[in-house]
Amino acid sequence: MSQTRVFGIMSVSPDKRRKMESALEQIKKYTVVVADTGDFNAIEEYKPQDATTNPSLILAAAKMSTYQPLVEQAIKYGIANGGSEKEQVTNAMDKLFVNFGLEILKKVPGRVSTEVDARLSFDKEAMVSRARRLISLYEEAGVSKERILIKLSSTWEGIQAGRELEEKDGIHCNMTLLFSFAQAVACAEARVTLISPFVGRILDWYKENTDRKNYEPHEDPGVQSVTKIYNYYKKFSYTTVVMGASFRNTGEVKALAGCDLLTISPGLLGELSQDHSAVTCSLTPQGAKECDLEKVHLDEKSFRWLHNEDRMAVEKLSDGIRKFAADAIKLEAMIKERMFNVKNGQ
């Protein structure tokens, strides 16, 4: 029988209970689940611990009628703070990102990630300045920096900006657009709070640039990349945690159960909530300690060389920066047009 009687009451056996639980519920036992969205409804539905946004997600959300009050408030803020037209638009953009973050924080118990403009990816000082500005906007709204992760591109300059923000300001950073082992090592040595290696975009590259078009989850190059990074961090006791990101299918997500965090789109969260197959914990600190990995130290020159040796990572990092920058420019144009209308009483 699949049921057992305990103290005269029928109870469900562990095997039966596992069958009833969704894959999402099982993953949550091993990993902190983060919603990769700017859509508050999805956050309410799937109840993640944290949430993360980026310019592409904010652009999509800012076009929805539901969120127009947040856009209008940001525009009014930009105008009220004066300065040149460029400064007003920049202030409105920062306020818009923070407005979305504030709303998300009402719906998650943990943290929200807010991204620094990708166009600053090669300017360390500008990234530091922008990050401090975003944190000050959150603090003005009564939210502690402990609930915020500042997202920075994982360029050498971005990683060093993360180091400075963590050491000098106690501002926690989420290093994004991470594709290479070199980037992961440099982030760990900078002692940033968290990294977001991009699983699905790595898979995309291999499908586009090799003859192979199909991969089992454990063979997926994105899954293998994150597994190596996780094992390296845990083997050498780095404090930086790993948040797998940019998934293309639920197989990738399930293959990384046990990773510190996984940030998942609403579509895949929905699929996982309907999936009742058994999920096993693939990544563990104990397993990592037994891995055959050597410790690496990277200064700027060795970082640039090692990263450059990984063609996939070089191409996907530059492509990712361009795409986020393009969406930031679209969002800026939308803000600018709306701001012009407000100023002219339209």
Domain ranges across the chain: 14-344
Residue with tokens 């920096």: 145
The predicted model gives 115-144 an average pLDDT of 98
Mean pLDDT across the chain, nearest whole number? Answer: 94
Sign, Cα dihedral of 284, 285, 286, 287: positive
- Predicted local confidence at residue 41, as pLDDT: 87
Kind of pairing between the strands at 148-153 and 112-115: parallel
Beta-bridge partners for 245: 198
- Say if residues 220 and 203 touch (Cβ distance below 8 Å): yes
Identify which of 142, 144, 194, 140 has the alpha carbon closest to the alpha carbon of residue 166. 194
Task: Quickly list H helices, the chain.
Answer: 14-20, 23-30, 40-46, 55-62, 68-80, 85-105, 124-140, 156-164, 181-189, 199-209, 221-235, 250-255, 266-274, 285-289, 300-308, 311-343
Residues 6 or more apart whose Cβ sits within 8 Å of residue 181: 225, 228, 229, 232, 306, 310
Residue 124 C-alpha from the chain's centroid: 20
- Say if residues 193 and 159 touch (Cβ distance below 8 Å): no
pLDDT over 50 at 57, yes or no? yes
Task: Quickly list H helices, 47-152.
Answer: 55-62, 68-80, 85-105, 124-140
The predicted model gives 43-70 an average pLDDT of 94
Q: Which helix (H) or strand (E) holds 3?
A: strand 3-6
How far is residue 276 from each of residues 27, 48, 227, 260, measured CA to CA in Å?
A: 11, 19, 24, 22
| Residue positions annotated with a catalytic role | 151
DSSP 8-state assignment for residue 245: B
Which tokens go with 305?
A: 């060389």
Fold of 14-344: TIM Barrel (3.20.20)
Confidence of residue 74 (pLDDT cuts 50, 70, 90): very high
pLDDT over 90 at 4, yes or no? no
pLDDT over 90 at 313, yes or no? yes
- Predicted local confidence at residue 320, as pLDDT: 97
Secondary structure (3-state) at 342 = helix
pLDDT over 70 at 331, yes or no? yes
The predicted model gives 213-242 an average pLDDT of 98
Residues 6 or more apart whose Cβ sits within 8 Å of residue 297: 185, 189
Q: Say how far apart CA 134 and CA 75 lie, in whole Å.
A: 16
Residue type, 230: Y
Confidence of residue 202 (pLDDT cuts 50, 70, 90): very high
- Say if residues 305 and 179 touch (Cβ distance below 8 Å): no
